[in-house]
Structure 1
Amino acid sequence: MVQEICLLLLKASAVYFLCINVVYAVLMLLSWMKIKRYRTRLKDETVKDLPAVSFIIPAFNEESLIVETIQTYLSLPQAKKEIIVINDGSHDQTMKLLQTMFQLQKVQDRIFKSITQPELIVLEAPHMGKAQALNYGVTHATYDLICTMDADTIPTARGVEACLRSFATDSKLVAVGGVIQVLNSQVLKDNSPLEARSKEWLTSFQRIEYLRAFVCERLGWSFLGSTLLISGAFCMLKKEAVRKIGGFNHRSITEDFDLIVRLRRAYQGENHHFKILPITTCYTQVPRTIKHLSIQRMRWQMGLVQTLSENISLFFNPNHGPLGLFAIPYFWFVEVLSPVVEALGLVLIPYALYQNWVSLETVFMYLGIGLFFNLIITLIGVYFDNKYVSKKKYWSCTQSTIETLFLHLGYKQLTSWWRLIALFRSFSKNKAWGDKPREEIIHQTL
């Protein structure tokens, strides 16, 4: 009886991961179609005047990088822009550095403007958390388009222009984002990393993760009109849309995911668009220690469960088209439940081997097939990025192959374990974000 149950669960797990791989393959194909469609439309589009945009950047204890980060925004070629920095109750030198380096002048209570950079506005506030800080910034935004950014995120001129162009040509567009790349260097030139840290495996693994998530997956969902998440590290959207749903939800620990899901509900049936563009919009810092990576991934998982649970009515809801019928179930069955299935497999496979219920050859065969399939996905993503998305030739096929193999033989199991823990913690009340360490950024101008 025990043997039958064990083998049945193992077969069910194999079918489960086979289905996931089929879905990945379909999304990868759709991503390719998205890239081709975007390139075709780009050739036919003629935009004379791009709209203005307000960049909104919450900053909490960002003294190590705030000045250089703001410099990257000021260096963007877009003429009609403003940069709104919200000093969210920092207790380090963030505000003092901003005042000194940009010669801030107080114009109203807690509102400062730069004498040397007229497009820079700094709002001072008691510590409210990221969501409330964003809402505070929205209330002071001058332009109809806003772009939420993280203080450790570096925008690209091509990405900003592509998003503005999308709004100029699509009156039904509500929110747009692009491909986010890992900032793997402290030294920048023209708002791009100048050199890579090839020896930092933790950073390299996250680069692969971001590549697969954005280039091989989210572009596919965007092609289906089922974009469910536009990362808060770079999300450009209409200000009126944010106001329509009451702003960012301060109770959510993943306010960016929560915002897009609520916007999708608010604009149901109105034929409005949410897009991910096949172009690099920004580079962002990622955790460089196991400790901070574990904290980040558990929070992401708890935020995922929180937002999906609060919007359970979307699950298999035909009124939302592919979003309700495919995207939402995918997030439930894959993003939420896969750590449970993986943990089950890691327990049952050694036990079945010990009992001689399965052969070692069979286990290695399935493992090899899985690794080969994931390697193909990575290499196709590398090709897409090098040729169409970033066009920077950052990726080496040989190094990406090695990193992918190690990614699925240790690192992935570790992140799945953190996500599994987060599933149980999702039922607790302690869901604060906490601090995230920052690195100094050097912007090379010569």
Structure 2
Amino acid sequence: MEDPHGVARSALLWSRYGDVAPPIALIVPAYNEELNVVVSVHSMLALEYPNYEVIVVNDGSKDGTLERLTEAFELVKFERPYEEVLAHEPIRGLYASRRTDRLFVIDKVNGGKADAQNAGINVSRAPIFCVIDGDSILEPDALMRAAQPFIDDPERTVAVGGTIRIANGSRIDGGRVTEVRLPRKMLPLYQIVEYLRAFLMARLAWSRINTLMLVSGAFGVFRRAEVVAAGGVTKGSIGEDLDLIIKLHRHMMDSGRDYRIQFVPEPVCWTEAPETLGVLARQRARWQRGALECFFRYRSMLFNPRYGRVGFLGFGHILIVDVLGPIAEVLGYILMPTFWLLGILDAEYLLAFTALIFVYGVCVSVCSLILEEAELQRFPRARDLATLTVAAVLENFGYRQINNLWRVKGWWQHLRGDHSWGEMTRTGLGAAEK
């Protein structure tokens, strides 16, 4: 069911920005995404935006990703001149769709997600590009909302991130989320709470002081000229989204230019979350390796006065939360009970400290849920809000602890030089339609 308030807001956005909205290229890296890629592309072709093109980059998929796209959109080979300003693996062919002039597909040798993004940037012609995962669905007005900072402040805005939401369980029809429903499994429910806490509270706050260090690789909008000037996406990077934002901060500051990297909560992108512990463990360990890789690659920026708040606050946050945080928390799980058993720590102090930690975690999660509903209002049923409130409480008892163990595993993999991506098994967004 359409939200009448959302329709009215979209119409107002169109009337205000439709004539001045800049051309945008949607770059969709896709590796083994045959389950979701057609649904995702349909959602992109249905976006409410006046001037855009969709460039799907098939990064040497081993499944039927290219075949599914060819069948669904009647792809044919074509020639399109482009300048190779960024390095990437060879392109095997360019395809256009007989059904729409907005869709193009790049078929290339596998080089990883960062490499695929660079290929898409080269082939794109628009001054602004949007990176979106091949398993994601944008809300119809998401691109217009994400482009608003580029229209309002074109000189300073270099990157904009939107909200990532989990689509597991929701009804999807024609490439759109037509009914928001919660997943039946607890693991995706916990991840919904995580995403609410990470996006609406943390990133909005960092954005206000222009110290946002991460625009999600699932949905980010960038000024092409600045990304090219910064050297593009670092090839082989595991945390390519974090890496790109750090590079943009460094490039703009080294150039002595005033700029903005913003988070805007209203543009919503729906994505599929892992539903099994094994897949989620691989994802979180990879995220940890990506954060460590970026931190040590750009460690010269840490506490460097040249980089101002980014060097002190942004990199300081990465040091505390991503580098030291997992190890410190897991050590706490071991040392606190050990000190109690050895008689070093009083039982009353241990219980009081443990209660404080859990109460603080529950308060942050529940407050994130309240703020999200007040801002975006994506959960129409009171029962869903009640379910999420229970999940926001329960995730503090076991789920967050095992997450830290996965992150410590990511630390160990980083020390061993493991750069593998890991297999991300999908169930398919289309499954939510049934």
Alignment of 1:16-415 (within 5 A): 46-47=16-17, 48-108=19-79, 110-171=93-154, 172-185=156-169, 187-189=171-173, 191-192=176-177, 194-268=179-253, 269-393=256-380, 396-415=384-403
SS in 2 for 1:157: coil
CA 1:281–1:186 in 2, change beyond 3 Å: closer, same or farther? closer
Amino acid in the other structure paired with 2:245: I
Amino acid in the other structure paired with 1:157: P
Amino acid in the other structure paired with 2:57: I
**How far apart are residue 186 of structure 1 and its match?**
5.4
**How far apart are residue 133 of structure 1 and its match?**
1.0
SS in 2 for 1:426: helix
Number of residue pairs the alignment of both structures matches: 404
- Unmatched segments (≥5 aa) in structure 2: 1-8, 80-91
Residues in 2 aligned to 1:443 and 1:209: alpha-carbon distance in whole angstroms:
23
Deviation larger for 416-425 or 137-146 = 416-425
What is the TM-score with the length of structure 2 in the denominator?
Answer: 0.88
**How far apart are residue 86 of structure 1 and its match?**
1.0
Amino acid in the other structure paired with 2:429: I
Q: Is the 8 A contact 1:378 1:400 kept in 2?
A: no
Residues in 2 aligned to 1:332 and 1:284: alpha-carbon distance in whole angstroms:
28
Please give the per-residue CA displacement for 1:66-118, whole angstroms capped at 9, x wherever unaligned: 11111000111213110001111122221112111111121137111101111
Amino acid in the other structure paired with 2:50: A
Residues in 1 aligned to 2:351 and 2:240: alpha-carbon distance in whole angstroms:
41
- Unmatched segments (≥5 aa) in structure 1: 1-38
Amino acid in the other structure paired with 1:180: I
- Paired position in structure 2 for 1:9: none
Amino acid in the other structure paired with 2:73: F
**How far apart are residue 218 of structure 1 and its match?**
1.0
SS in 2 for 1:436: coil
**How far apart are residue 181 of structure 1 and its match?**
1.0
SS in 2 for 1:416: helix
Q: Is the 8 A contact 2:38 2:69 kept in 1?
A: yes
- Paired position in structure 2 for 1:418: 406
**How far apart are residue 405 of structure 1 and its match?**
2.7
Amino acid in the other structure paired with 2:192: R
Amino acid in the other structure paired with 1:282: C
Please give the per-residue CA displacement for 1:179-206, whole angstroms capped at 9, x wherever unaligned: 1111222522572262434431110111
Residues in 2 aligned to 1:198 and 1:364: alpha-carbon distance in whole angstroms:
34
What is the TM-score with the length of structure 1 in the denominator?
Answer: 0.85
Residues in 2 aligned to 1:51 and 1:392: alpha-carbon distance in whole angstroms:
32
Bigger relative contact order, structure 1 or 2 (CA pairs below 8 A, ≥6 apart): 1
SS in 2 for 1:235: strand
**How far apart are residue 332 of structure 1 and its match?**
0.3
Q: Is the 8 A contact 2:366 2:392 kept in 1?
A: no
Residues in 2 aligned to 1:158 and 1:322: alpha-carbon distance in whole angstroms:
33
Residues in 1 aligned to 2:404 and 2:284: alpha-carbon distance in whole angstroms:
9
Residues in 2 aligned to 1:72 and 1:404: alpha-carbon distance in whole angstroms:
30
Residues in 1 aligned to 2:303 and 2:64: alpha-carbon distance in whole angstroms:
49
Residues in 2 aligned to 1:292 and 1:443: alpha-carbon distance in whole angstroms:
18
SS in 2 for 1:408: coil
Amino acid in the other structure paired with 2:352: M
Please give the per-residue CA displacement for 1:400-419, whole angstroms capped at 9, x wherever unaligned: 33212321111111111111
Deviation larger for 348-357 or 171-180 = 348-357
Residues in 2 aligned to 1:54 and 1:139: alpha-carbon distance in whole angstroms:
11
Residues in 2 aligned to 1:278 and 1:293: alpha-carbon distance in whole angstroms:
25
Residues in 2 aligned to 1:401 and 1:346: alpha-carbon distance in whole angstroms:
25
SS in 1 for 2:53: strand
Residues in 1 aligned to 2:395 and 2:271: alpha-carbon distance in whole angstroms:
20
Name the Cα RMSD after superposition: 2.3
- Paired position in structure 2 for 1:17: none
Residues in 1 aligned to 2:395 and 2:202: alpha-carbon distance in whole angstroms:
18
Q: Is the 8 A contact 2:30 2:134 kept in 1?
A: yes
CA 1:388–1:234 in 2, change beyond 3 Å: closer, same or farther? same
SS in 2 for 1:442: helix
